[in-house]
Chains A and B, each alone.
Chain A
């Protein structure tokens, strides 16, 4: 079933400059998509639009059959709170809150809030699942980059969102930590069934996904679905190959 559908979307920042150009793409429920493309190709812009952070100049975006392009600020706020989980390159944790409190914070804005005991338990479970349960009461400045990113992932999951979007979640991490974080993502996707959309430059990161879409100049240039039988190495090779075909730099 299509969960999120992007239909003929354009985003124009300055006259004659199309950050996105009549782009259409859809995301199945329970899918794991990686968006790739050279710098400036419009990946982040696309992510912002589909999460309702910004409005397209033209075109429509529908989530579960609702056209979110027409939502007002309050509706968008609810949407971000309940339907989306966000992870960024910079972890953006609140420095004054402990890891656990950072995870819990999105629930403060939820309309029908479960009891705080239940929430704390849920947050603690998430942290344990991400293998940082013992760091629950530590302030962010005392955590490593990978640990901070895992707190951010837990924060994105706490409200059981329909979709988790991540913009270069491994961009600030070394390759070893990257792979650990990506494994966590994959786990959450496989065992909890979250729909994931990840923007990345790194083919080894993209290889964790079920599908890779590649963008160039605000347009979708290729759509690579992977079968479950493909190994990671095969996937990476396919990605490299497609990138070369599209004349993109390999990083």
Chain B
């Protein structure tokens, strides 16, 4: 008989216990496997949908990728060789597009000639969609059905095609491209070599398929470094699609890490309880000659057995559940799930991490097990956890360090200090949990004692104190759950806050009324009647701050003091496209930073600018701004204005279109006088009433402007965001659910074994006349106290941590989950009672007599 057999005996002859443990551990493994299957399936489905649109190609490279590229040079043999030699490039293919950029010159607007070589990547090109057919040979062409019907030709016909600047060539139609692809109607597909021989030298561009789309940027950088003249199309559109799914990854990863940590703690608590129970047996083993190493080996063998079995069960359950759920038609994160994928590698990685965490978390209890002294066979009580002076000193040092770090990080607002503080707080919490717990239990006991004389109430905290090791294990588990969820919640809330801030800075007012021709068509923008603003502001629900903006006058500034943002440089002067708008200047001038502060002071040729504009363009008070009209057909005319005031940046004045500077501002009267502009193009309206939109629409209809303007309600955008936010919240809620289950598993195993060890004691209590009901209540109360005190402690710690987290994310303290933590504290006893319910029932059903003798 060897030690491995002994470990196995422990498992096989305590089947109920082993089963409970295996179930609790396999839960984590199942979750990890399932989440990997989910993620992989979503990614695969997304990748398939991307490939169906963009082909399985990652980059396009060439000197000339579009009409706008000046350099009309084909890729050389050497270029291609260099591209192919890049380590991350898996495959390369070429495209010949001879008339790219020559459309005007050769009158090749109608048809697009492209040439491909017979190579695998050719079929991935978005220009090739020919089903089972192959790339045509010399003097052959594949056309669209549209081309065939327009020119009244069919497969097998010989047609004459022009290949300027060369002669006509006769080619044979050998196939049609996919009928459904309207965008291919004008594409004629040739063999690349032959097409080169009758047009110009090629190929024009190369398609690159990489080992992984993640190396796109690095390959791009290498190519540009190799030859700066080469253009690279990164297919940015696909990045967005991938990012959409990629956004799930950090959430899922955090959940997985949380699961790993909590399961590790759960296992630790189970081991701790088990080793406590076996204290005497371990001592006997030591007595009959087991060395410390033998006991370590024994404990780790059990962990190994248990984790292997659990991993296997978890893996099977996880994968099956995930596949079952995914087999139903569903859409997740805007991706239709069309396929399932089992990513063995990443599942393996996570499970390995999981086992590692189980081993690491069980180091402490296992070490404790190996340290059992052989003499403790004789000693009944094994709780030697005394508050040594060394521990007190460690506690004080840690506490002081953490406090100093915490205060420092709040004072200096350094993100790194915040992170360090959070780490330190977690350390403090877990290192000192036993003593804090003991202290808290004593406090609770001394509070209850004078209040309730009933032994039932005072007994519970005392019992928890007696079994402080088990109490601690559960408290750690529950605390980890609460801390992790609080941090998750705080992060989410912070993200929400910043997102809403962004949303609101994009839409500074609650409602925005704009004319349809806004934006790119601003030049033709006729605006709408100023009457609308007057009418709307008469409504009670529209309040300050609200303002109007007239249709802008757009011109080129010709005397920029600071040329950083200059865009036009026709005749050697630095110029920038700018606009002047009329608005009610009153509220801005009142708080002007420099210059005139009332409308009455403004001269006819005065303009007002924002600080942002002053900084970006370099204008100061008193400077002239020369504006040249851009209307080319009319006679160009110039204006010259003086900067009269610089006002602070107001969200209403920020101009997304002209980043990083804003429009020049003047009064509506000035607008009328100089440019004959009286119409409005934008109204910014504030209203406390989210339903004010209805009234605004009514006013618009009454003025018959419904075809000229549209109303943007920022609350609608907010709702859309809220929906996304809720999706994440559900994921978080799901995690909380998992953690509750794990905590319950911990409560269950620990209370079960505590009660088992206390059967004699319970029987004595029964035999001296304690009622069944009373005993029942005492035991449940223990559970309630345990979870309540843990939740209380964890909440204090969580709040402290969230404060640091919020500050390091630059959020506001209003997101701190105070109410949520309060609810957790209030509800926590229920968790304890539920976890203790079945074991209590079991313990009280046992025969009194059997355990007394």
Contact = CB atoms under 8 A, between A and B. Distances in A.
Contacts of B6: 94, 97, 105, 108
Nearest to A152: B284
Given A53-B374, A92-B377, A80 B288 contact: yes
Contact of B9 (A73, A92, A101): A101
Given A53-B287, A110-B289, A155-B288, A44 B281 contact: no
Contacts, number: 75
A116 B287 contact: no
Contacts of A116: 1
A20 to B, nearest CB: 15
Interface in B368-402: 374-375, 377-378
A109 B10 CA distance: 18
A81 B290 CA distance: 8
Given A92-B377, A94-B284, A97-B6, A77 B290 contact: yes
B285 interface: yes
B707 interface: no
Contact of A86 (B1, B9, B13, B288): B288
B657 interface: no
Contacts of B418: none
A53 B288 CA distance: 11
A86 B289 CA distance: 11
A78 to B, nearest CB: 7
B2 interface: yes
Given A78-B289, A108-B1, A88 B377 contact: yes
Q: Tell me which of B13, B284, B286, B294 has the highest count of chain A C-beta atoms within 10 A of its own C-beta.
A: B284
Interface string A67-79: 0000001100110
B375 A54 contact: yes
Nearest to A44: B378
B297 to A, nearest CB: 10
B289 A106 contact: yes
Given A101-B1, A109-B294, A92 B280 contact: yes
Contact of B288 (A54, A105, A167): A105
Nearest to B376: A53
B589 to A, nearest CB: 87
Contacts of B290: 77, 81, 108-109
A53 B375 contact: yes
B292 interface: yes
Interface string B213-249: 0000000000000000000000000000000000000
A77 B287 CA distance: 8
Contacts of A21: none
A53 B374 CA distance: 7
Interface in B1-28: 1-3, 6, 9-10, 13-14
Nearest to A83: B289
A54 B378 CA distance: 12
A27 to B, nearest CB: 20
Interface string A33-53: 000000000001000100001
A172 interface: no
B276 to A, nearest CB: 15
B211 to A, nearest CB: 52
A96 interface: yes
B3 A48 contact: no
Nearest to A155: B288
A9 interface: no
Contacts of B287: 53, 80, 86
A202 interface: no
Q: Tell me which of A73, A105, A108 has the highest count of chain B C-beta atoms within 10 A of its own C-beta.
A: A108
Interface string B260-292: 000000000000000000001100111111111
A104 B1 contact: yes
Nearest to A96: B13
A82 B10 CA distance: 25
Nearest to A79: B289
Chain B binding surface, main DSSP class: helix
Nearest to A167: B378
Contacts of B10: 96
A159 interface: yes
A77 B374 CA distance: 9
A81 B9 contact: no
A57 B843 CA distance: 45
Contact of B3 (A53, A78, A108): A108
Contact of A106 (B3, B280, B288, B378): B288
Interface in A100-158: 101, 104-110, 116, 119, 139, 155
A96 B289 contact: no
Interface size class of A (residues with CB under 8 A): 20 to 34
Nearest to B377: A92
B368 to A, nearest CB: 16
Given A86-B287, A96-B13, A101-B9, A108 B378 contact: no
B288 A81 contact: yes
A167 B286 CA distance: 17
Nearest to B373: A53
A80 B3 CA distance: 18
B263 to A, nearest CB: 25
Contacts of B375: 48, 53-54
Nearest to B375: A53
Contacts of A77: 286, 289-292
Nearest to A77: B291
A234 to B, nearest CB: 34
Contacts of A119: 1
A116 B2 CA distance: 9
Contacts of A108: 1-3, 6, 290, 294
Interface in B671-687: none
Q: Tell me which of B10, B374, B375 has the highest count of chain A C-beta atoms within 10 A of its own C-beta.
A: B374
B374 A96 contact: no
Contacts of A78: 289
Interface in B281-311: 281, 284-292, 294
A96 B8 CA distance: 10
A81 B280 CA distance: 17
A156 to B, nearest CB: 8
B845 to A, nearest CB: 19
Contacts of B286: 77, 80
A105 B285 contact: yes
Nearest to B12: A96
Q: Tell me which of B1, B280, B285, B375 has the highest count of chain A C-beta atoms within 10 A of its own C-beta.
A: B1
Contacts of A159: 289
A16 to B, nearest CB: 22
A119 B5 CA distance: 15
A158 B288 CA distance: 10
B300 to A, nearest CB: 16
A96 B2 contact: no
B453 to A, nearest CB: 37
A225 B377 CA distance: 31
Nearest to B281: A94
B374 A80 contact: yes
A108 B4 CA distance: 10
A186 to B, nearest CB: 23
A89 to B, nearest CB: 9
Contacts of B14: 96
Given A80-B289, A116-B1, 18 more contacts: A48-B375, A53-B374, A77-B292, A80-B374, A81-B289, A92-B377, A94-B285, A95-B281, A96-B9, A101-B9, A104-B1, A105-B288, A108-B290, A109-B285, A109-B289, A109-B294, A110-B289, A119-B1
Per CB-CB distance, the 9 closest pairs between chain A and chain B, nearest first, are: A81-B289, A109-B289, A106-B288, A96-B13, A92-B284, A77-B291, A53-B375, A96-B9, A104-B1
Interface of B: 1-3, 6, 9-10, 13-14, 280-281, 284-292, 294, 374-375, 377-378
26 contacts: A44-B378, A48-B375, A53-B287, A54-B375, A73-B292, A74-B291, A80-B374, A81-B288, A81-B289, A86-B288, A92-B280, A92-B281, A94-B284, A94-B285, A95-B13, A96-B10, A96-B13, A97-B13, A106-B289, A107-B1, A108-B294, A109-B288, A109-B289, A109-B291, A109-B294, A110-B289
